[in-house]
Every structure is written in C-alpha cells, then in structure tokens.
Copies of this chain bind each other. A is one copy, B any other.
Amino acid sequence: MFTKEDNEKLCRVGAGTAMGDAFRSMWMPFLLPEELPEADCPPIRVRLLGEDLIAFRDSRGQIGLLDRYCPHRRVDLFYGRNEECGLRCVYHGWKFDTTGAIVDMPTEPDNTQMKQDTRIKSYPVMEWGGVIWAYMGPLETMPATPPELEWGLVPADYRFITKRLQRTNYAQGVEGGIDSSHVGILHSHLDSENPHRPFRERQISPNLSIPYLASDTAPKFFIRPTNYGMAIGARRNAGEEEYYWRVTQFLAPFYTMIAPLKEDRAYMGHAWVPIDNENCWVFTMTWNSDRPLSQEELDHGAVHSDVMNDGSYRPLVSADNDYGIDRVRQRLHSSTGIDGIGMQDTAVQESMGPIVDRSLENLGSGDAAIVGFRRSLLKMAEQRAKTGRLDVADHPEWYRVRSTAALLAHGADFYAGTASLTKVEAGAGREE
C-alpha cells in the first residue's frame, strides 16, 4: 500500500520538499517560444514548482525569469514595462536585467549603494528543442543541458509541441501517460449497432487502429528499471507464437513516451510539469526522427492543443462543463461521450481531485507501471536528499531513447528484443 506519507512525498513540489528539491536539480520545460514571441514583448506570469515568477524577453532577445514581486515595495512585475534590456517596475521605476541585477533606481541618488546591494531572485533560462527551460536549483549543480530527449534534438520541422493546463498534481498525469492498460477501455469506440459488444471486440479510436490493443484488454506488464527511469513492456496476445509488445518509456522526473499508434505514425511524448501541488502543464510532443512531420501528423498532434486562445492554455472543456460529456454519444459511440483522447485522459485524471489519496486505491496486476513509477521517483528524491545530486541530471545522454511496438516470439525478453528500436543502450538499462 502506498501510504499517505509516501503520497505527500511524491506530490509536494515546493522549495524544501524532497521531491521539490529533486525537481530543482534539473532543467524543466515551462514555456512555449510563442509565449515570448519577440524582443521587448509583454512579460508573462509564470508559476512553477509553487513559486510565483515573471518571465520576459529583453531587447536582445534574452529571457529573464525573476521573482514576481519587486524587492522595493513588492509590486507585481506583471505590470512592469519591458524596455531597453530590462524589466522596469512601474511604481518607482526600479529596473532589472535578465540576470536579476538592478540596472536603474531612479528614485534614489545616482551614486546609491542600494543598486549593488539589492537583487531580485532570478533563475537561469534556456531555449532548447522547441521549448523554454528553467533551472531553479543551486547554480553549483546546474546541468549543462536539459535531458537530450529525441524531440529536442531533431530539426524544428520534425517536431510539433503543444501545451495545456491540467488541474491535477503532476504525478496523476504521469501515471496516466504510462498506464497502457486504459487505452483499450477509456478510448474505445462503440459499434452503434451493438454498443454493448465486449471491449475485446471493439475498435479503439478510429485514429488508433491497432487490433491487439482492444482484443486483449488485460495485457501483462513487465517493468524494467533503467538509468533514466523505467521501460514498461505491455504484452498482449497476438497469435500462436508471438506476443504484441508495446514499450512505454518513463524518463525521470516527468517525461513519458508511448509507442506510435500506427505503423508509420510519428512518435509521441509528454512532459507533466508541476505548476504547483495541484496543477501541471501538459506538454505534448509529436516528432519524427528522420523527416519533417506530414500535414496529417501535424493535425493529429494539434488534437492536444484545443485550448483557450487567451494565453491561459486552459482546455475549452473542463470540470466546469463536465468535459462536454454527451450521454447519447456515450451510449452509442464511445466509452466516455467525451471528445478527444487528451480530454478523455484529463477528465478521468482531474475527476480524482487535484491530489488523489493513493492510500485508498486497489491496484491490480495492470498497475505495475504505476507502482514502478512511484518507487522510481521516491528513490530519485532520496538520492537528491542524501547526496545533493541526481544521476539523471548529470547524464542528459541517457534520455536518447524511444518507445516502440513490436511482435516478439514467445519467451523473448522485451527489453533486449526491442533494444535496437528503443536505442536503450543510451539509457543503459540496469538491474534493480
């Protein structure tokens, strides 16, 4: 059983918490470049790991990430004026550069020592791989680069990245991302002629046309701890001599990759970035390793970005309107009556409440990946607490792996059997 204490440890991300300190040891994606589109554009509010911050792009294009409140009189820098290589508080005109240095203090004498003595909290920021990253930990342990996830390494037109708000703790999102067993249920389509047909005879979404997913709704899960996190093998029956394996990757602390859902489909991955204990950003990455995305692949990737056009990245449907559930469609066409795979996931994950009480769960054999994820993250937090470092932060190259699907002969080990496809030599799978 997962205790209430473990649950607290897994879910709390504030400064000084075990998990919060571990997260602060790594670069984290937090903005899309479109949010700070050009030099001297308006600053935007950022909340990350429970801290209220302000981000701005200065006249040279550099990005700053500062405390949300001016150190003088605590005015919100959202109202600040982004001008001439610095963000200026409108109240008394104190001006900060992207490093947090105070470069002007017009209400004080020109020679004031205060300008040197006062600073504002600031965090390093990096643009890499199509997203903007922050590092919120001690400078002495700052990794040189973010984790080298494949979507970050390919050319810009090989990838497509969206972002949306989810009103849950990050861990609920990750758990959804690695939970292969729900796919044939939550996302199943119905035959309206015979809506009560058993799950195993159903189609998943027309976009997810893989017969084995639905025909075996109780896959057997195999967990392989790795240096970067965990490889999850979901084994489904596929005839007399073979199994159909789907290998999902979990990469610490909050990245997931799922195998393509069509033979020639782009890869897909997520990052579940903690805004605070009760909210997270869901970044969804669609990418090819060796060619630009096709229009069809772009369209499919865009499914995950059906969000408010006001900079909030809130989905159009939400708990406020029961995710637009349509009970007639639920009766005749789909398990949920909710449109869109992403929203189906969000609906169930948010419906648990912002931080589900894991001590009340009843986990089965289909939940092995979830158990593995929790164990893996608690271990990571423990390493950080004991040593002040994280192995995964020091080895960005471990992240150069993929997810895949494959038919393997009965008796074959999924990890070894798919290694040429998953490229796990990068992640150096380890024995527990």
- Give me the interface of A with B, judged by CB distance under 8 Å: 40, 42, 69, 71-76, 78-79, 81, 83-84, 90-93, 105-110, 112, 114, 118, 181-182, 185-186, 195-196, 199-200, 217-218, 322-323, 325, 327, 330-331, 335-338, 344, 347-348, 351-353, 356-357, 360-367
Contact = CB atoms under 8 A, between A and B. Distances in A.
Given A84-B196, A92-B366, A93-B185, A347 B108 contact: no
17 contacts: A73-B352, A74-B356, A74-B360, A79-B336, A79-B348, A81-B330, A91-B186, A93-B199, A93-B335, A106-B217, A107-B182, A107-B364, A107-B366, A108-B218, A108-B366, A109-B218, A112-B365
Given A106-B217, A108-B218, A364-B105, A79 B114 contact: no
Contact of A74 (B71, B199, B352): B352
Nearest to A114: B364
Given A74-B353, A76-B348, A83-B195, 19 more contacts: A42-B327, A71-B360, A72-B361, A73-B363, A73-B367, A76-B351, A79-B338, A81-B330, A81-B331, A83-B331, A91-B185, A92-B185, A93-B199, A93-B217, A106-B200, A107-B181, A107-B364, A108-B366, A114-B362
A414 B186 CA distance: 65
Contact of A72 (B76, B109, B364, B365): B364
Count of identical protomers in the assembly: 3
B181 A90 contact: no
Interface centre among A91, A109, A364 (most CB of B within 10 A): A91
A337 B75 CA distance: 16
A365 B72 CA distance: 12
A contact face: mostly helix, strand, loop, or mixed: loop
B362 A118 contact: yes
A330 B83 CA distance: 10
Contacts of A93: 185, 199, 217, 335
B92 A181 contact: yes
Nearest to A338: B79
A74 B218 contact: no
Contacts of A69: 352, 360
